[in-house]
Amino acid sequence: MQRLWILLEMIKIQHTVFALPFAFMGALLGARGLPSGRQALFILLAMVGARSAAMAFNRLADHHFDALNPRTRDRALPAGLLSRRAAWLFTLASAALFILAAGQLNRLCLWLSFPALGVILCYSYTKRFTAYSHLFLGAALGLAPVAGWLAVTGSLALTPLVLGAAVLFWVAGFDVLYALQDEDFDRQVGLYSLPVKVGRVRAMRLAQVFHALAAVGFVATGLLAGLGRLYLGAALLAGVFLLWEHRLLAPDDLSRLHHAFFTLNGLVGLVLCGATFLSLWP
């Protein structure tokens, strides 16, 4: 049980709240209501498997840098609480769970699970060659609502793509803010990020632009899907959360970063998914 807890802490299982609501939101939109219990179960298993594989692989890829960074040197791998072998086994098992669960949904999900897995794993190396790795992470999480839609419909449409783009910019925005705390370290070891490339102030402005685009995308999703006033009100509330997130931070004061990063962004997905569910309630 102790090793299991270490594994769950290593992959930040609580951060599943970022992607999972949007996967179910895509499924709700595709089904125009509740998906079947079987579909919901395998969407859940696929999302847990994909995210667990991505996070564990990220810890393996960044092991060397985590050991050097004062902020991350207490993580499981650099602290010696978990072996690389155990982390690799967990990564492979999680990837297998993702592929098997996708295969239980439909044939298209099975075939697309392989390139999707490549995208979410490759993110870990983008920080080594591009300052726009935040957008790549956004694209990885932006697959969640598209995958949820595909799981119940077996085909693609404009609505999930718009929602996926909104998630892309939402994630990119808060990832830029999260990267502020490692700006000096990343510059020292040669890693790339927007704070390193353009400086803290400009990076925070770009994060604001990303979140403005995300808010527009959330509203556009509701209009395309015909979700009505309840959802549009929730989309506006999500925009308020994003605005509040930026109000909590200043270039010379990141003391409220955890609250801005986790609490407010967690609420965004939950509020939008809940409003979608209520809007489609028969």
- Domain ranges in the chain are 11-279
Cβ-in-10-Å burial (0-12, 13-18, 19+) of 1 comes to exposed
For the chain, percent of residues with pLDDT exceeding 90: 81
Residue whose tokens read 């000096």: 184
- Reply yes or no on whether the pLDDT at 7 is more than 80: no
Q: What is the pLDDT of residue 85?
A: 93
Token pair of 212 as six digits: 């403005």
Distance CA(224)–CA(163), nearest Å, equals 10
Q: What is the pLDDT of residue 187?
A: 95
Contact 98, 110 (CB under 8 A): no
Tell me what the mean pLDDT of segment 182-211 comes to.
Answer: 96
Distance CA(167)–CA(277), nearest Å, equals 18
pLDDT in tens, 92-101: 999 999 999 9
Contact 155, 106 (CB under 8 A): no
CATH topology of domain 11-279: Tetracycline Repressor; domain 2 (1.10.357)
Contact 28, 280 (CB under 8 A): yes
Is the whole model's pTM more than 0.85, yes or no? yes
Tell me what the mean pLDDT of segment 45-65 comes to.
Answer: 93
Tell me what the mean pLDDT of segment 64-83 comes to.
Answer: 91
Helix H or strand E segment including 277 = helix 265-279
- Reply yes or no on whether the pLDDT at 14 is more than 70: no
Q: What is the pLDDT of residue 189?
A: 94
Tell me what the mean pLDDT of segment 147-162 comes to.
Answer: 96
